[in-house]
Homo-oligomer: A and B are copies of this chain.
Amino acid sequence: MNVTFSFQILAGNGSARRGEIKTQRGIIRTPAFMPVGTAATVKSMFPDSVHAAGTDIVLANTYHLMLRPGAERIARLGGLHHFMHWPYPILTDSGGYQVMSLSALRKIDDKGVTFRSHLDGMLFELTPERAIEIQNLLGADIVMQLDECIKLPAPDSEVERAMKLSLHWAQRSKRAFEGATPGRALFGIVQGGTSPTLRKQSARELISMDFSGYAIGGLAVGEPQDVMLATIDETVPELPINKPRYLMGVGEPDDLLAAVESGIDMFDCVLPTRAGRHALAYTRLGKVNLKNAHHAEDPRPLDEQSQCPAARDYSRAYLHHLVKANEMLGAMLLTWANIAYYQELMEGIRVAISTGRLPEFAAATRENWKKEPR
């Protein structure tokens, strides 16, 4: 295919936008939620079900894939899309976040980061250039710059140092990405902790480098939701209107809804898949913990109005039984139901923006979330 990467805004409602990203692998309807396919699989789901649930794009992790099975191996096998049987768009992160959170003995300097694999202790090096090379080998449609993501709270000086290093790495990532095929895109990542000043500085310098999209990184790392939303509200106005805005690693359904209202277009998060493996279901009417004994004889499905077979066709009693018996089908059904609910929410959001009724949709949705007994 010979499609130029592009982003088009189709409708707006307050700060929220309904849009479409075109890639060589297909269209991404925004606001979009990207399920996480860490090791080239959205855990416990068949790719067909991921797509049928309304997913246009998945995220895969550079860190995990560079360690196992290796980016060069995936390239020899025809690229990540073919490898994981997912012909639709893929965004890969740069590996920076996982290096910080998972690896041992990491050493960061201006050049990049060296670390030992959490799997076997082998030594690896990740530079901005190598992060781009890996993502090119994987064949990602949306590529992320290498950044340094620190834990919050942190001293201002440390936040500023990491933000400036990330800007330096952004510049090198940009150079390394030059000449990539036109249907693919590189995003820069705004850092700066919860400091409006640092966020603005980061955003402005990134914009001067001209990326195809801008991510807000370094949030949802322990700060309260209102602090996260305030930081988003400080940052978004700095970003160009005509480029996708991606809030990394977020979040709960109510985080997504609030961030869309603040003008965010893209999200990824492990929550719906991880919760599915831990007996927690996200539904239209709130969260349901299937471990709870009061579900043992409950004949109701998670949500009889759902279009998803997992949420519609199996009783809570059965799901409770599967969870208690530690049966794989429990995780399979709950993950499927959760991804389907997240995508149902995103579709509801998109329709609401298109029809100018996002405030009403948001209010009704928030009311509904209170309906499941806690």
Interface string of A308-350 (1 = CB under 8 A from B): 0100011101100110110111011000000000000000000
- Report A260 CB to chain B, min CB distance, Å: 30
Whether A329 contacts B297 by the Cβ 8 Å rule is: no
For A315, the chain B residues whose CB sits under 8 A away are 77, 83
**Could you tell me how many residues of chain A have their Cβ less than 8 Å away from some Cβ of chain B?**
35
Is A41 interfacial (CB 8 A cutoff)?
Answer: yes
For A329, the chain B residues whose CB sits under 8 A away are 41, 43-46
For A41, the chain B residues whose CB sits under 8 A away are 322, 327, 329
Is A357 interfacial (CB 8 A cutoff)?
Answer: no
Closest to A310 in B: B46
Closest to A64 in B: B325
Whether B317 contacts A83 by the Cβ 8 Å rule is: yes
For A161, the chain B residues whose CB sits under 8 A away are none
Is A68 interfacial (CB 8 A cutoff)?
Answer: yes
Docked CA distance A328–B84 (Å): 14
For A68, the chain B residues whose CB sits under 8 A away are 321, 324-325
Is A76 interfacial (CB 8 A cutoff)?
Answer: yes
Closest to A83 in B: B318
Partner of A317, one of B69, B324, B332: B69
Whether A73 contacts B328 by the Cβ 8 Å rule is: no
**A:288-302 near B, CB below 8 Å:** 296-297, 299
Docked CA distance A322–B315 (Å): 30
For A85, the chain B residues whose CB sits under 8 A away are 313-314, 318
Is A359 interfacial (CB 8 A cutoff)?
Answer: no
The 7 A-B residue pairs with the shortest CB-CB distance, nearest first, are A44-B328, A41-B329, A39-B325, A69-B321, A41-B327, A77-B317, A83-B318
Q: Which residues of A contact B (CB under 8 A)?
A: 39-41, 43-46, 48, 68-69, 73, 76-78, 83-85, 296-297, 299, 309, 313-315, 317-318, 321-322, 324-325, 327-329, 331-332
Question: What are 17 sample pairs from A and B whose C-beta atoms fall under 8 A apart?
Answer: A39-B322, A40-B318, A40-B321, A41-B322, A41-B329, A43-B329, A44-B328, A45-B329, A68-B324, A68-B325, A69-B324, A73-B317, A77-B299, A83-B315, A85-B318, A328-B328, A328-B332
